[in-house]
Amino acid sequence: MRLAILVSGRGTNLAAVLEAVAEGRLSDVEPVLVVSNRPGVPALDVAAGHGVPTRVLPRARFADAGARDAAIGRAVAEAGADLALLAGYDQLLRPAYFAEFGGRTINIHPSLLPKHGGPGMMGLAVHASVLAAGDTQTGVTIHEVTPELDGGPVITQVNVAVLAGDTPERLAERVLAVEHRCLVEVLAHLSASMTAASRA
């Protein structure tokens, strides 16, 4: 399974995936491209450290966001990706992306969608929202990406307990550890299914 990964920041989920590939835990996954919408982010160094080609496609280089998203979709398609993964990618993908890349795109989100999803729900804002709501459970959602923000069908969800005295930072740390594990498990399942289908 040829995998493209879209990033915007630290690249911790990207690192978890690339390390699993390097260790043989994702032996059927071939990372073919990392695309960032922001220059100079740590995720680009993570990709370079694993020898994965990168592209930086910032909004400022394009006439509008749709043109930028079309360029991202073309880059993913030209890399021959079977699957695109949003791993900390902080922008809504517009229809122009899907017009250029007809393959499957999935996202990982640090809450139990549909709770604490939608506009502005990224990073610590998600965990602050969970705590403000008084939720006793949060978690991780991996879902299909559609033009509706955080609205695609759910692939899997894993619960994480909210503990007394949690801060957004503490909660984020525990959820992130589950994100890493869950993401590798889902990619292993998807790659195995794709391999089995190709042999059938």
Chain segment 142-177, per-residue pLDDT in tens: 999 998 888 899 999 999 999 999 999 999 999 999
**Beta-strand runs (E) in the chain:** 2-7, 30-36, 54-56, 83-86, 104-109, 137-144, 154-161
Cα(63)–Cα(147) distance, rounded to whole angstroms? 20
pLDDT the model gives residue 195: 77
Alpha-carbon gap, residue 56 to 96, rounded angstroms = 18
pTM of the shown model: 0.94
80, 4 contact by CB (below 8 A): no
CATH superfamily of 2-199: Formyl transferase, N-terminal domain (3.40.50.170)
In this model, does residue 37 exceed pLDDT 80?
yes
In the chain, the percentage of residues whose pLDDT exceeds 70 is 100
Asked if residue 199 has pLDDT above 80, the reply is: no
HSE, side-chain direction, 13 A CA sphere, residue 2: 11
Residue type at 196? Answer: A
Contact between residue 195 and residue 28 where contact means Cβ atoms under 8 Å apart = yes
Among this protein's residues, is 50 annotated catalytic?
Answer: no
What does each C-alpha distance from 60 to 53, 68, 197 come to in angstroms?
22, 9, 41
Residue 144 has a pLDDT of: 95
**Chain segment 92-150, per-residue pLDDT in tens:** 999 999 999 999 999 999 999 999 999 889 999 999 999 999 999 999 999 999 988 88
Place of tokens 């525990």: 174
The residue ranges of every structural domain in the chain are: 2-199
- Catalytic pick among 109, 116, 127, 143: 109
Q: Is the pLDDT of residue 200 over 80?
A: no
